[in-house]
């Protein structure tokens, strides 16, 4: 049986939508996300990159990419969101050609495409009148159609050089040293800012506090290691957690279950 349980169409009247929550809308864990914007006044943040949204905007995010929507006006906004695992199409595309747009790029780069005219495909995938099996087939076919179109669009798209803003430098430094002994104070000192200044700049760029961002990324990597057969203790140590009990509590809080491995 095909399984894509996290396909949804959403409407929201809230002005503020910036909280990063693992396993919900703002982190992708062990899979990939596609976000399709229909209406509203908003912009999307992915790892410090800011993408203005308009009807037909499509955002793609892979496991571990921090992302959130920033509502600019209190208008209702509508969007579709699909979460699915990278392994979903291994039997069809074992070399990963269709999913390379997710994997063969740096964090926060080339996330946005303008793909107008795809609302009908999303509507078909949300058709609740279909039986479970028919709907899952419809979803998989729809995702394949959109993946193919995204790859065509990516091949024709001009990809600008990597962003080198101050915010991009901060994120790059953290991700390159993610499992080292990091503290907010040491990061602020590295970038010649006070702790409060660093926190404000970081949260404006990502929607998350520095320590929440670091902890979430470490936990996602630890979870992937455990699923590959590493012990929970080894995963915790390799991912920068010096105290296993703290790792255990953080893991349960984020994922809702204990680390097993």
Per-residue pLDDT for 176 more than 80? yes
Per-residue pLDDT for 252 more than 80? yes
Per-residue pLDDT for 32 more than 50? yes
Quote the tokens at residue 247: 């790792």
CA distance 203 to 209: 5
Q: How high is the mean pLDDT of the chain?
A: 85
Q: Using CB atoms within 10 A of its CB, is residue 50 exposed (0-12), middle (13-18) or buried (19+)? A: middle
- At 22 the pLDDT is 26
CA distance 103 to 214: 21
- At 23 the pLDDT is 28
Span 148-169, pLDDT tens digits: 999 999 988 776 666 678 998 9
Mean pLDDT of 234-255: 95
Question: How far is CA 187 from each of CA 192, 212, 250, rounded to the nearest angstrom?
Answer: 9, 14, 22
**How far does CA 3 lie from the centroid of its chain?**
20
Q: Where are the domains of the chain?
A: 6-156, 166-255
CB distance 50 to 44 below 8 Å: yes
CATH topology for 6-156 is Jelly Rolls (2.60.120)
Q: Using CB atoms within 10 A of its CB, is residue 248 exposed (0-12), middle (13-18) or buried (19+)? A: middle
Q: Which one has a higher pLDDT value, 184 or 8?
A: 184
6-156 and 166-255: same fold?
no
Span 34-69, pLDDT tens digits: 889 999 899 999 998 999 999 999 999 988 888 888
Closest among 118, 102, 112 to 31, alpha carbons compared: 102
CA distance 141 to 147: 10
Span 114-139, pLDDT tens digits: 998 899 998 888 888 989 899 888 88
Is domain 166-255 annotated with CATH 3.40.50.2000? no
CB distance 161 to 193 below 8 Å: no
């Amino acid at each position: 049986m095909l399984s894509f349980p996290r396909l949804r169409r959403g409407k929201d009247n809230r002005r503020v939508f910036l909280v990063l929550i693992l396993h919900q809308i703002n982190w992708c864990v062990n899979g990939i996300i596609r976000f399709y914007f229909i209406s509203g006044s908003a912009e999307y943040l992915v790892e410090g990159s800011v993408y203005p949204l308009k009807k037909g905007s499509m955002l793609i995010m892979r496991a571990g990419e921090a992302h959130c929507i920033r509502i600019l006006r209190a208008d209702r906004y509508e969007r579709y969101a699909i979460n699915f695992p990278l392994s979903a199409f291994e039997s069809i595309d074992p070399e990963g050609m269709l999913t390379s747009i997710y994997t063969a790029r740096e964090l926060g780069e080339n996330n946005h495409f303008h793909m107008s005219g795809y609302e009908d495909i999303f509507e078909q995938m949300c058709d609740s009148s279909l039986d479970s099996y028919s709907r899952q087939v419809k979803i998989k076919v729809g995702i394949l159609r959109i993946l193919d179109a995204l790859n065509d669009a990516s091949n024709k798209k001009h990809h600008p050089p990597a962003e080198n803003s101050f915010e991009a430098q901060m994120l790059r430094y953290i991700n390159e040293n993610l499992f080292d002994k990091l503290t907010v104070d040491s990061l602020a000192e590295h970038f010649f800012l006070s702790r409060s200044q660093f926190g404000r700049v970081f949260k404006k760029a990502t929607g998350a506090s520095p320590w929440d961002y670091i902890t979430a990324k470490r936990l996602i990597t630890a979870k992937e290691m455990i699923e590959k057969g590493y012990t929970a203790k080894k995963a915790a140590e390799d991912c920068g957690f010096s105290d296993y009990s703290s790792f255990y509590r953080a893991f349960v809080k984020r994922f809702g279950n204990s680390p097993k491995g």
